[in-house]
Amino acid sequence: MVHDPDYISRIKSVAERGGDWLDPDTVMSPKSYKAALYAAGGLLIAVEAVMKEEVNSSFALVRPPGHHATRNQAMGFCIFNNVAIAAKFALANFNIGRVLIVDFDVHHGNGTQEAFYNNSKVLYFSTHQYPFYPGTGWVDEVGSGEGEGYTVNFPMAAGWGDEEYLRAFNEILIPVARRFQPQLILVSAGFDPHWADTIAMMQVSITGFAQMVTVLNNLASELCRKRLVFTLEGGYNLQVVASAVRATLDVLSGNPQIVDPLGKATGRKPEGFEERIKKIKQMQHLLQQ
């Protein structure tokens, strides 16, 4: 549904040959093909459980991540685009026509954006450090053809933190989601915007992630019968990943006690945010709301 059949065969044969580097970041061992299938399939099980109303929300704790994988290329630790496959799977199997993907990983999900760039059935909303790897995700990337207006990028300057992310969610994501009326919300949950994750330079705290998850949980309750499915993307500080996943599950299960052992960031620099959010509101025609 997302990848070239030739690409999938190539990944399989690389594993059979004992593994190899697929790009400068992405290495495969003999078992990586199987792991990548389990990652994509694990998320499909999580989607199925929500769509069949066995649970309201679910979280696929999978590796490898997926949002950088394109139709025929592995990159940025990603082999198959788990979240894109899950969106197509949901559209194909559960009689729905609109899926919202929210991606708060610190990197732009170029593969996910590409998969749905011309598609009005999947709205892709991403916050990500910019300029940064993989280089895509500026505000003027809004989709094309039938998909124009169904890609919403919120590039974040290094140093922004909880307050900026929460405002991006409250002032851009919420009105965009209400306009789109999704029937399912998928979340590419990368915890690498945390201040203690040294791969990038954002200043989000565990409490900040919990606030973002609260917005998503409220949107799912309001718009799509609580159908909300998370999948793990990046996150390279293991204490952060553990605490952030726990905080996510606490919000989803209604526990108000959020544990934040790492505390708030001290290096937040909000400069430039007002101008950026104003520009995005203008592009989305949200200034009146």
Q: How far is the CB of 107 from Zn ion (least distance, A)?
A: 4
Q: Which residues contact 157 (CB under 8 A, 6 or more apart)?
A: 129, 130, 269, 271, 272, 273, 276
Q: Which residue has the tokens 């990586």?
A: 32
- Tell me which of 3, 67, 68, 108 is the catalytic residue: 68
Give one DSSP letter per residue of 206-245, joined into a string.
Answer: HHHHHHHHHHHHHHHHHHSTT-EEEEE-----HHHHHHHH
Task: Look up residue 146 and give its DSSP letter.
Answer: G
Query: Which CB atom, from 106 or from 206, has the smaller least distance to Zn ion?
Result: 106
Strand blocks (E) in the chain: 20-23, 26-28, 57-60, 99-103, 122-129, 151-156, 184-189, 228-232
Q: How far is the CB of 188 from Zn ion (least distance, A)?
A: 9
Q: How far is the CB of 125 from Zn ion (least distance, A)?
A: 16
Cα–Cα distance measured from residue 79 to residue 73, given in angstroms and rounded to the nearest whole number: 8
Q: Are 241 and 190 in contact (CB under 8 A)?
A: no
Q: Which residues contact 12 (CB under 8 A, 6 or more apart)?
A: 33
Q: How far is the CB of 242 from Zn ion (least distance, A)?
A: 17
Q: Chain centroid to CA 189: how far?
A: 5
Q: Are 72 and 4 in contact (CB under 8 A)?
A: yes
Question: Which residues are 8's β-sheet partners?
Answer: none
Assess whether 107 carries a catalytic annotation: no
Q: How far is the CB of 244 from Zn ion (least distance, A)?
A: 13
Tokens of 102: 């929210």
The SS3 of residue 122 is strand
Point out which residues bind Zn ion (CB under 5 A): 105-107, 190, 192, 234
Q: How far is the CB of 134 from Zn ion (least distance, A)?
A: 10
**Active site residue ranges:** 68
